[in-house]
A and B are shown apart, each in its own frame.
Chain A
Amino acid sequence: MNSKIMMVVLCIGLAGCTTVSPGGYYWGKYSYTYHDLLKNPGETARAAHVVTLQDIIATSNEKDLRTPPGIHAELGNLLSNADRNDEAAAQYQAERALYPESAVFLQRLLVKPKAGAEE
């Protein structure tokens, strides 16, 4: 119970000011929700991580910051796993526009849905 209250206080505290990392990025709760997802993989953790990724993108746009490496791609991958392929492709496109060195990797992800269908 105590830890829940602390979490709420912490969340309010964090929402108050946008923290920009030393590299000039906004990472939101990335490490926390990704750690939860690794530790307890499941729908709840996945949904929470999607919210984090969306928050990172929205806040970065709002604050005129470059969205950090991998965030669009990671959101795209989660959307693709949920069969939301058009939205996934849009996220991959955004990643590639920001980080051209991701092109080969993203190409691999774009052909992935077919492989998934065969499984």
Chain B
Amino acid sequence: MRLISTIALVFLISACAEIETKGQAFPKMYSETEKPISIVVVPAINKSTAADAANLVNSTLTIPFADNGYYVLPIAIVSDIFRREGLIEGSQIQGIPLSMFKTSFGADSVLYITINKWDTNYVVLAANVVVGMSYVLRSTTDSEILWSYDQEIVVDTSGDSTGFLLADIIKTAITTAMTDYIPIARQVNATAVATMPYGKYHPLNNTDAEAKVVLKKSRENAVMSTD
């Protein structure tokens, strides 16, 4: 299963071909005046069929963005504030003018996330989760897009083979039922964040413009799916 997803990924990369450097893809992230330091994360919009997907994503988002060098305003407090204002769904919050996040929160940028797919597949011997997410980071100064990414990744959740067919079938069923989805959500977020230029608190800040890691199509798709 892991082999298949690796092959699929290689195929995907070679088919779409066009790979950009971080600097080409996200020039504003290297501009002294436009590069954000702080990020407000709007609670994820869940378009998938998995009820818990939004909770999983919201509880694993801060870590990769903070690790990448940004000040992420605490999601727990920000969503409490929205809730007090009667804004519960991410889609309600999307309507708020970006400048409001600057005046009330002092934030340089806002991150919008859409969970397009969260499908758990279980076929006797193999199990996986297919997760599709898009991320768009916008400036609170001029509403321009600073960074964006869209991806669909397959995470194998089968567990290791025991070497015995019947045991493997049972094991796959058990691991599917007990799968810990937090590491999966983390992995999905980390994959997207790998294309994002480092921020102020990262030792490699402003040194990664030449890193050739951005799939042009993924960058463009994110903007289309959230507009």
A contacts, CB < 8 Å to B? 3, 21-25, 27, 30-32, 34-35, 37-39, 66, 68-71, 73-74, 77, 99, 101-105, 108-109
Give chain A residues whose Cβ lies under 8 Å from the Cβ of B59. Answer: 30-32, 34-35, 38
Q: A23-B201, A38-B55 given as contacts; is B71 within 8 A of A31 (CB)? A: no
Q: How many A-B residue pairs have CB under 8 A?
A: 91
Q: A34-B59, A35-B182, A70-B74 given as contacts; is B66 within 8 A of A102 (CB)? A: no
Q: Does B182 lie within 8 Å of A108, measured CB to CB?
A: no
Partner of B58, one of A24, A38, A109: A38
How many chain B residues touch A (Cβ–Cβ < 8 Å)?
36
Give chain B residues whose Cβ lies under 8 Å from the Cβ of A23. Answer: 66-69, 201-202
Partner of A73, one of B52, B69, B77: B77
Bound complex: CA of A32 vs CA of B201, how far in Å? 24
Q: Does A73 lie within 8 Å of B74, measured CB to CB?
A: yes
Partner of A21, one of B63, B74, B104: B63
Q: Does B66 lie within 8 Å of A104, measured CB to CB?
A: no
Bound complex: CA of A3 vs CA of B168, how far in Å? 19
CB distance from A43 to the nearest CB of B (A): 16
The chain B residue with its CB closest to the CB of A99 is B71
Bound complex: CA of A22 vs CA of B201, how far in Å? 12
The chain A residue with its CB closest to the CB of B76 is A74
Bound complex: CA of A40 vs CA of B185, how far in Å? 19
A-B pairs, top 7 by smallest CB distance, nearest first, are: A104-B106, A23-B67, A70-B74, A35-B59, A38-B55, A34-B59, A74-B74
Q: Does B38 lie within 8 Å of A102, measured CB to CB?
A: yes
Give chain A residues whose Cβ lies under 8 Å from the Cβ of B70. Answer: 69
Q: A101-B38, A105-B105 given as contacts; is B69 within 8 A of A34 (CB)? A: no
Partner of A31, one of B77, B80, B182, B201: B182
Give chain B residues whose Cβ lies under 8 Å from the Cβ of A24. Answer: 67, 203
Bound complex: CA of A34 vs CA of B55, how far in Å? 9
Q: Which of B52, B67, B72, B185 has the most CB of A within 10 A?
A: B67
Bound complex: CA of A103 vs CA of B55, how far in Å? 27
The chain A residue with its CB closest to the CB of B51 is A39
Q: Does residue B216 face the partner (Cβ distance < 8 Å to A)?
A: no
